[in-house]
């Protein structure tokens, strides 16, 4: 096989596409490839978008891609849609809204299915972001599945989190999902062309407080008409500069690394004790011992952690 | 550990200017229900856009749908551009309203299969499954 990583570092999109698939399919080559890619990452500004289904995340990203291209930036997008829990299949439709970018050599868009990963993202999402970062994308947008707990995960992984809301029509009290007011660095009220935005904006303004020297701006947009997009792009650039100058970018990187190390260790452990692995038999023995009251679950867990499988696969 | 089979990824696109994509959507859903990941790119795509998307999405196969009669230029153009980009291994199939006479010509141009209206969905699904395995 051609050296995909070398090609990626030359900016080869085909290599990027193939590498992301290897990562998604959890192929053995992926670990090695990611190890080689890692030193070339850390340059891109990673911007996560979250918000309820249909609020306009893809449409906004589409507009922003064009705006940032006009400002001379190369762009990557990873857009996540849910996998059907029943069939394992997915229809990935975010690309429909991003058709404008077409064959622009400075844009790379990848659709991704969650493949059973909870949290509004796929397990492979941020490794895919790294692939695009290493390829040279200067800004990478991540679109989460706008439901469930997507906020939590995107908040620890992106540099800038954009929460997208839209005004509801009629006589309703618009309440925010729990946690949504804590995680946004930028709030977008989209679909202002439909009216009724003032209440939502006022409501947000009232509830949002400055955190660590940054007051989350609220930007009104109409993605289809392109209204408010320049302002949103300005705000994103300002936040990137703020993160850099304040040292928070590094802080976020460390927080992210912490979480990633823990998650990976957890996954390795789960794999290590699963059937067919060297630790499998020990796991079985311990399970029987716990059932027979020869030991307790806590002590058994410690034993399991202490046991080092002879031949470890770094997966 | 049970090995998880590699996911089959398919791009469904509708080149040309004709306006509706019901057939394409029905196929997209059938492929999803068979466990595949279907990237749907919507209407009015140019061959260049389709090929670019297929490379970025790293799909195993592309399903092209046409109702307008432009298939004789658009479908072979997709195959040609894929080869030019070094991605000739991506299987291209066509569907929609395509006169019987055109089918052999399309096949000679590298379109691996042509599914007319009324083709059982099961047949289309198993073709894509095979195309995905072969990649
Ligand atoms: N009127 C109006 N419609 C909009 C606006 N932005 C997006 N839409 C429409 O809202 C619908 C959903 O837009 P998307 O961009 O797909 O929304 P999304 O948040 O990416 O949706 P999911 O990915 O399904 O969660 C589409 O029909 C858009 O055309 C806007 O500013 N105004
Ligand atoms: Mg979307």
CB-based contact A246:A213 (threshold 8 Å): yes
A146 lines ligand 1 (CB under 6 A): yes
Read off the pLDDT of each residue in B123-128 and give the average, rounded to a whole number.
Answer: 95
Least confident of A65-79, A228-242, B35-49: B35-49
Read off the pLDDT of each residue in A124-145 and give the average, rounded to a whole number.
Answer: 96
Contacts of A13 in chain B (CB under 8 A): 52, 55-56
Which residues, other chains included, contact B111 with Cβ-Cβ below 8 Å and sequence gap of 6+? Answer: B75, B76, B79, B92, B93, B94
Read off the pLDDT of each residue in A195-209 and give the average, rounded to a whole number.
Answer: 88
Q: How confident is the model at residue A312 (pLDDT cuts 50, 70, 90)?
A: very low
Q: What percent of chain A has pLDDT over 90?
A: 63
Q: Does position A179 have pLDDT exceeding 80, yes or no?
A: no
CB-based contact A267:A298 (threshold 8 Å): no
A56 lines ligand 1 (CB under 6 A): yes
Q: Does position A178 have pLDDT exceeding 80, yes or no?
A: no
Q: Does position A275 have pLDDT exceeding 60, yes or no?
A: no
Distances (CA, A) of B65 to A92, B23, B44, B116: 17, 8, 11, 10
Q: Residue A201's pLDDT is what?
A: 92
CA A206, CA A200: separation in Å to the nearest integer? 10
Which residues, other chains included, contact B108 with Cβ-Cβ below 8 Å and sequence gap of 6+? Answer: none
Mark yes or no for CB contact A276/B33 under 8 Å. Answer: no
Q: Nearest-CA residue of chain B relative to A272?
A: B1
Q: How confident is the model at residue A315 (pLDDT cuts 50, 70, 90)?
A: very low
Q: Which ligand has the minimum distance to the alpha carbon of residue A53?
A: 1
Highest mean pLDDT, choosing among A70-74, A310-314, B73-77? A70-74
Least confident of A128-137, A153-162, B76-85: A153-162
Element (H, E) at B92: strand B91-96
Read off the pLDDT of each residue in A59-67 and give the average, rounded to a whole number.
Answer: 97
Q: Residue A277's pLDDT is what?
A: 63
CA B63, CA B75: separation in Å to the nearest integer? 10
* Å between B101 CA and nearest CA of chain A: 32
Residue A277 at interface with chain B, using a CB cutoff of 8 Å: yes
Query: ipTM of the assembly?
Result: 0.93
A59 lines ligand 1 (CB under 6 A): yes
B9-68 per-position pLDDT tens digit? 999 998 877 667 788 889 999 999 999 999 998 777 889 999 999 999 999 999 998 877
A6-57 per-position pLDDT tens digit? 999 999 999 999 999 999 998 989 999 999 999 999 999 999 999 988 999 9
Q: Residue A267's pLDDT is what?
A: 83
**What's the pTM value of the predicted model, to 2 decimals?**
0.91
Read off the pLDDT of each residue in A273-280 and give the average, rounded to a whole number.
Answer: 64
CA A278, CA A271: separation in Å to the nearest integer? 10
Helix (H, G, I), strand (E, B) or coil at B37: strand
Phi, psi of A78 (to 5 degrees): -120, 115
A97 lines ligand 1 (CB under 6 A): yes
Q: Residue A283's pLDDT is what?
A: 85
Q: Nearest-CA residue of chain A relative to B87?
A: A14
CA A129 to chain centre: 8
Contacts of A88 in chain B (CB under 8 A): 7, 35
Q: Does position A117 have pLDDT exceeding 80, yes or no?
A: yes
When scoring B32, B42, B81 by the number of chain A Cβ atoms within 10 A, the one with the most, hence best to mutate, is: B32
Highest mean pLDDT, choosing among A39-43, A166-170, B116-120? A39-43
CA A142, CA A109: separation in Å to the nearest integer? 10
Least confident of A2-11, A82-91, A150-159, A287-296: A150-159
Q: Identify the residue whose tokens are 């670990």.
A: A31
**Measured between CB atoms, which of B28, B36, B39 is closest to A111?**
B39
Pick the closest to residue B56 from B21, B7, B90, B92 (CA basis): B90
Read off the pLDDT of each residue in A226-237 and give the average, rounded to a whole number.
Answer: 98
Q: Classify A43-245 by CATH class.
A: alpha beta
B61-91 per-position pLDDT tens digit? 999 988 777 888 899 999 999 999 999 999 9
Q: Residue B135's pLDDT is what?
A: 47
Pick the closest to residue B92 from B66, B119, B118 (CA basis): B66
Q: Residue B1's pLDDT is what?
A: 42
Q: Which two tokens stand for residue A198?
A: 């003032």
**CATH topology for the B9-130 domain:** Rossmann fold (3.40.50)
CB-based contact A165:A100 (threshold 8 Å): no
Q: Which two tokens stand for residue A105?
A: 């050599």
Where do the structural domains in chain A lie, given as residue ranges?
Answer: 43-245, 250-306
Mark yes or no for CB contact B58/A17 under 8 Å. Answer: yes
CA A256, CA A159: separation in Å to the nearest integer? 10
Q: Nearest-CA residue of chain A relative to B54?
A: A17
Contacts of B4 in chain A (CB under 8 A): 25-26
Helix (H, G, I), strand (E, B) or coil at A71: coil
User: Given the CA of residue A225, which atom of ligand 1 is nearest to it?
Assistant: 31
């Amino acid at each position: 096989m051609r050296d995909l990583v070398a090609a990626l570092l030359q900016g080869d999109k085909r290599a990027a596409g193939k590498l992301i698939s290897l990562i998604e399919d959890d192929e053995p080559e992926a670990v090695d490839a990611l190890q080689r890619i890692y030193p070339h990452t850390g340059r891109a500004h990673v911007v996560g978008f979250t918000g309820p289904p249909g609020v306009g995340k893809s449409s906004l990203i589409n507009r922003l891609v064009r705006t940032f291209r006009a400002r001379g930036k190369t762009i990557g997008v990873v857009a996540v849609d849910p996998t059907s829990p029943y069939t394992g299949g997915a229809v990935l439709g975010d690309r429909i809204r991003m058709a404008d970018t077409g064959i622009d050599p400075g844009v790379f868009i990848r659709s991704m299915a969650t493949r059973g990963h909870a949290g509004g993202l796929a397990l492979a999402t941020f490794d895919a972001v790294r692939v695009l970062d290493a390829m040279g994308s200067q800004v990478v947008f991540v679109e989460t599945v706008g439901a469930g707990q997507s906020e939590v995960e995107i908040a620890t992984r992106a540099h800038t989190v954009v929460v997208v809301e839209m005004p509801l029509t009629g006589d309703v009290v618009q309440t925010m999902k729990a946690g949504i007011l804590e995680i946004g660095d930028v709030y977008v009220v989209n679909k202002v062309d439909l009216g009724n935005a003032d209440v939502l904006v006022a409501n947000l303004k009232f509830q949002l407080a400055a955190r660590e020297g940054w007051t989350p701006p609220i930007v009104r947009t109409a993605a289809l008409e392109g209204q408010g997009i320049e302002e949103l792009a300005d705000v994103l650039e300002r936040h990137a500069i703020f993160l850099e100058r304040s040292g928070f970018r590094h802080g976020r990187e460390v927080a992210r690394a912490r979480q990633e190390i823990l998650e990976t260790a957890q996954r390795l452990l789960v794999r290590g004790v699963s059937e067919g692995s060297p630790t499998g038999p020990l796991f079985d023995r311990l399970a029987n011992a716990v059932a027979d009251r020869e030991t307790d679950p806590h002590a058994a867990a410690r034993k399991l952690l202490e046991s080092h499988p002879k031949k470890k696969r770094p997966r | 550990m049970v090995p998880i089979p590699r996911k089959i990824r398919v791009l469904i696109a509708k080149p040309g200017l004709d306006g509706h994509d019901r057939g394409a959507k029905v196929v997209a859903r059938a492929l999803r229900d068979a466990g595949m990941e279907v990237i749907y790119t919507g209407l009015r795509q140019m061959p260049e856009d389709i090929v670019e998307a297929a490379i970025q999405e790293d799909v195993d196969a592309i399903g092209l749908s046409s109702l307008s009669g432009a298939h004789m230029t658009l479908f072979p153009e997709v195959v040609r551009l894929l080869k030019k980009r070094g991605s000739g291994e991506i299987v291209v199939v066509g569907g929609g309203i395509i006169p019987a006479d055109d089918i052999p010509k399309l096949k000679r141009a590298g379109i691996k299969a042509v599914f007319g209206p009324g083709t059982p969905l099961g047949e289309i699904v198993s073709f894509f499954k095979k195309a995905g395995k072969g990649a």
